[in-house]
Amino acid sequence: MVRQHVNPLSRIHQLARPLPPLIELFADPSLPLHLDIGSARGRFLLAMAPLAPERNHLGLEIRRPLVEAAEDDRRRDGLTNLRFLYGNANVNLPEWLAPLPAGQLELVTLQFPDPWFKLRHRKRRVLQPALLLALAAALAPGRRLFLQSDVEGLITPMRQLVEASGVFELAGPEECGPTVNPLPVATEREAQVLAEGKPVHRSLYRRRAAPLPPLAELERHLDTRLEATGDGTDNRHDAAAD
């Protein structure tokens, strides 16, 4: 499976496109919500939605053809608790998340995002400080954020950002770890990586009852940490992204 990088900072992906409200998306908009950021072709959510009919499932993907294909499959399967939308998470999600009813966002998954390895490309990574704070504001205490990747150099700064916010606590190894997936469905990338005998790096966090830090403070902390550690400054796998 070849990764198809999309530069989220390109002009077309920076356009503001308001996402539809829940009432326009789901048969029962009052159900708890599972948000999958970077849903790709949608097969993970197409399998999850029938297994968890007590939730609505929303996939957000920046590659429009994948969204259209996933929506075709959703309609074919008659899944009214599932939708796929085209958008840039960092541009579209914060404004959409803000008016959600308190506690409705139950689970956020961010799985195998595009691996922008190099330090100078860190602004292209999906999990940016402003997005994390928007997610944290929408997640009630106890609600979950799940991250996984086959690239340790990518998930490390994601973990650093989440933990630097001070508003999440890490679940124990009995709930989530290299051999323990807290979800009943594997993504296509996950299945491929495991079939090749390679490791998958996972972290499950729960929202703490703690106030959000100022955005500027979190951005400074992350920049200082990344520059000090040099995470992603030179990696041959990122040559095509130059």
Per-residue model confidence as pLDDT tens digits over 200-225: 999 999 999 999 999 999 998 777 76
Model confidence at 9: pLDDT above 50? no
What is residue 236's predicted lDDT score, i.e. its pLDDT? 41
What is residue 125's predicted lDDT score, i.e. its pLDDT? 74
Query: pLDDT band at residue 1, thresholds of 50, 70 and 90?
Result: very low
What mean pLDDT do residues 52-74 have? 97
The answer to whether 114 is a known catalytic residue is: yes
DSSP code, position 187: -
What mean pLDDT do residues 120-132 have? 76
What is residue 230's predicted lDDT score, i.e. its pLDDT? 56
What is residue 115's predicted lDDT score, i.e. its pLDDT? 64
What mean pLDDT do residues 227-242 have? 47
Q: In whole angstroms, what is the distance from residue 42 CA to residue 138 CA?
A: 23
Q: In whole angstroms, what is the distance from residue 158 CA to residue 178 CA?
A: 16
Q: What angle do CA 173, 109, 121 make, to 5 degrees?
A: 100
**Secondary structure percentages of the chain, helix, strand, coil, to 5:** 40, 20, 40
What domains appear along the chain, each with residue ranges and CATH number? 11-241 (3.40.50.150)
Q: In whole angstroms, what is the distance from residue 73 CA to residue 119 CA?
A: 37
Give the bridge partners for 57, in sequence order.
Answer: 34, 82
Whole-angstrom distance between the N-terminal and C-terminal Cα of the chain?
Answer: 21
Percentage of residues in the chain having pLDDT higher than 70: 82
Residue burial 134-164, b: 16+ Cβ < 10 Å; e: rest = bbbebbeeebbbbbbbbbebbbbbbbbbbeb
What is residue 126's predicted lDDT score, i.e. its pLDDT? 76
Full strand arrangement of the beta sheet holding 82-86: 82-86, 56-61, 33-37, 105-111, 139-149, 201-207, 168-170
Model confidence at 128: pLDDT above 90? yes
Model confidence at 241: pLDDT above 50? no
In contact, 33 and 100? CB cutoff 8 Å: yes
Model confidence at 162: pLDDT above 90? yes
CA dihedral 114, 115, 120, 126 (to 10 degrees): 40
Query: pLDDT band at residue 123, thresholds of 50, 70 and 90?
Result: low
The active-site residue, picked from 114, 223, 238, 242, is 114
In contact, 31 and 55? CB cutoff 8 Å: yes
What mean pLDDT do residues 87-109 have? 95
User: Across all residues in the chain, what is the average pLDDT?
Assistant: 87
- 72-76, 101-105, 151-155, 188-192, range with the lowest pLDDT: 151-155
Give the bridge partners for 8, in sequence order.
Answer: none
- 9-13, 42-46, 139-143, 171-175, range with the lowest pLDDT: 9-13
In contact, 123 and 87? CB cutoff 8 Å: no
Output the CA torsion sign for 15, 232, 107, 179: positive
What is residue 163's predicted lDDT score, i.e. its pLDDT? 96
Helix runs in the chain, H state only: 43-51, 64-77, 89-97, 129-138, 152-165, 188-195, 215-229
What mean pLDDT do residues 109-127 have? 69
Q: What is the value of pTM for the model shown?
A: 0.87
Higher local confidence (pLDDT), 240 or 195? 195
What is residue 221's predicted lDDT score, i.e. its pLDDT? 78
What is residue 98's predicted lDDT score, i.e. its pLDDT? 95
DSSP code, position 177: B
